[in-house]
Amino acid sequence: MSNEETQTANPRNTVAPESAAPSAEEPSKVKVKFQEFGLPPALMQAIETLGYTHCTPIQAETLPHALSNYDVTGQAQTGTGKTAAFLITLISHQLEFPLQAEPAPGTPRALVLAPTRELVMQIAEDAKDLTRYSGLKVLSVVGGMDFERQKKVLENERVDILVATPGRLIDFLTRGKLNLRNIEQLVLDEADRMLSMGFIPDVRRIIRQTPPKRRRQTLLFSATFNDEVLRLAEQWTLEPEHVVIESENVTTDNIDQRIYMVSSRDKFALLYNLITTLQLDRVLVFANRRDSTRRIYERLKALGVPCDMLSGEIPQSKRVSTLERFREGKIQVLAATDVAGRGLHVEGISHVINYDLPEDPEDYVHRIGRTGRAGAKGISISLLGESDAFLLPEIETLLGSKLVCSQPEDELLVAPKESRLPSDDRPRRRDSGRPGGGPRSGQRRRP
């Protein structure tokens, strides 16, 4: 029987939130300062070093409950500051209640689970920024990275906060390199994404290795709370405070959303001309498939555009270096699949271009949320072709508003010189007299 099924009779100690704290039912109308929470000095110093003074809505709504040791379920999109909300909670707890003895290696006090490597690494970087003056140790555990280095840390060093993807974490649990019996705080980030990616059996297995929910604090965040996510929250949390931050604030306030209607064969010409004519300097281009992403990357590169690509086929070490070059401005355009849609945090992305509309409307929100962050203005451009036009109504339903579609100017549809493109991407003439020279009668070549 799992720990979740055999609950201890003694509930964990809790302190009621201050009556003056913002209600989870009514969003904060007054900006809340981090100083108001009485955070430990080392944590407050790190927050001030990062230049943060006021809470975002999700931080203002969740921190009063989370810092009082209540479980929290939070609904908010990426880019709203939820990562800092749960990290501040974890760090504050560990600084206020230090261990009396040095913990054994591989026995973290806090565990953060996230669905993708990029998101895990970003959370870990944010955690290191917030623990810079506290002496707490942060470790990220993900697949595709140096397994032996991660194992060595778990075997020989103290780990206070562990951030991990479910698969690699189970690898270390199976090998006996991790002990989760002392976990005091558990964070499940992007629960809906973990559900859609099939991680829930792994997450259940991991949670069974932690103390029962009456003896740990659980913070669960999700962009959406459908019936399945709500059932998971009920299983894994104890009488949680539920906070909802509406997604409309994320997508419409700071992001200018533009839709260009264009034929599929003209999409690349429009993309290239938008990048070069408007002199865009930091652009994230999303496509739905790996092969489409690679074609975009190869064609832009052949035309002299400083670019790279990010997809599941790229080794993790290469993905890390690519993101770093993009952050440093050495890459003008980054072509990506939705592997980068959540958890990718790069300051100053001016434009997000949807080469294809995503099949899941939620992915549209996450994609365009890569721009217009931290109060900055951003622009999203979607290239609406014949093959994905039917996806637009669902996106508009999610956003709660209609998106204006327009035709691009003729000069934006002028194709770049074919002689500079890779030979595989040049249009081929049909030659029915040569075997394999063109499609058979009644067939269409796949785009």
Q: Write out pLDDT tens, residues 388-428.
A: 889 999 999 888 888 999 999 999 999 998 554 444 444 43
Residues 215 and 291: their CA atoms lie apart, in Å, by: 47
Same domain, 265 and 359: yes
Q: H or E element: which one contains 307? A: strand 307-310
- Is 267 exposed, middle or buried (CB count within 10 Å of its CB: 0-12, 13-18, 19+)? buried
Residue 150 lies inside a defined structural domain of this protein: yes
**3-state DSSP assignment of residue 410:** helix
Under 8 Å between Cβ of 131 and 50: no
Same domain, 262 and 188: no
Q: H or E element: which one contains 285? A: strand 283-286
Q: Which residues contact 398 (CB under 8 A, 6 or more apart)?
A: 247, 361, 362, 364, 365
Same domain, 268 and 232: no
Position 78 scores a pLDDT of: 67
Same domain, 233 and 185: yes
Residue 226 lies inside a defined structural domain of this protein: yes
Position 378 scores a pLDDT of: 86
Q: Which residues contact 416 (CB under 8 A, 6 or more apart)?
A: 269, 272, 273, 303
Q: Which tokens hold the place of 199? A: 């991680």
The pTM for the full model equals: 0.64
Q: Which tokens hold the place of 355? A: 């080469």
Place of tokens 């955070």: 39
Under 8 Å between Cβ of 130 and 87: yes
Q: Which tokens hold the place of 252? A: 């419409």
Residues 391 and 360: their CA atoms lie apart, in Å, by: 8
Position 143 scores a pLDDT of: 82
Position 365 scores a pLDDT of: 84
Same domain, 200 and 284: no
> In which residue ranges of the chain is pLDDT below 70?
1-30, 78-79, 246-253, 316-317, 339-345, 373-376, 418-447
Same domain, 152 and 278: no
Same domain, 284 and 344: yes
Residues 121 and 139: their CA atoms lie apart, in Å, by: 9
pLDDT, tens only, 63-107: 999 999 999 999 877 667 899 999 999 999 999 999 989 899 999
Could you list the residue range(s) of the whole structural domain that residue 165 is in?
34-246
Residue 18 lies inside a defined structural domain of this protein: no
Residues 275 and 154: their CA atoms lie apart, in Å, by: 45
Q: H or E element: which one contains 366? A: helix 361-368
User: Which domain-ending residue is among 195, 224, 246?
Assistant: 246
Under 8 Å between Cβ of 356 and 341: no
Closest CA to 184 of 95, 82, 115, 122: 95
Q: State which amino acid sits at residue 219.
A: L
Question: Phi and psi at residue 436, in whole multiples of 5°?
Answer: 75, 5
User: Which domain-ending residue is among 206, 226, 246?
Assistant: 246
User: Which domain-ending residue is among 230, 246, 262?
Assistant: 246
Position 418 scores a pLDDT of: 54
Q: What CATH code is carried by the domain that includes residue 41?
A: 3.40.50.300
Same domain, 59 and 203: yes
Under 8 Å between Cβ of 112 and 91: no
Residues 293 and 67: their CA atoms lie apart, in Å, by: 43
Half-sphere exposure of 75 (CA within 13 A, CB side): 18
Same domain, 283 and 224: no
Position 434 scores a pLDDT of: 39
Residue 447 lies inside a defined structural domain of this protein: no
Q: Which residues contact 144 (CB under 8 A, 6 or more apart)?
A: 117, 315, 316, 317, 319
Q: H or E element: which one contains 169? A: helix 166-174
Largest CA distance in the chain: 83
Residue 365 lies inside a defined structural domain of this protein: yes
Residue 135 lies inside a defined structural domain of this protein: yes
Same domain, 238 and 339: no
Place of tokens 């555990």: 141
Position 274 scores a pLDDT of: 94
- Is 75 exposed, middle or buried (CB count within 10 Å of its CB: 0-12, 13-18, 19+)? buried
Q: Which tokens hold the place of 194? A: 């973990």
Residues 227 and 233: their CA atoms lie apart, in Å, by: 10
Under 8 Å between Cβ of 134 and 40: yes
Residue 433 lies inside a defined structural domain of this protein: no
Split into its structural domains, the chain has a count of 2
Same domain, 183 and 67: yes
- DSSP state letter for 334: E
Residue 161 lies inside a defined structural domain of this protein: yes
Nearest-Å Rg of the Cα atoms of the chain is 24
Same domain, 155 and 93: yes
Q: Residue 2: how many CB atoms within 10 A of its CB?
A: 11
**3-state DSSP assignment of residue 430:** coil
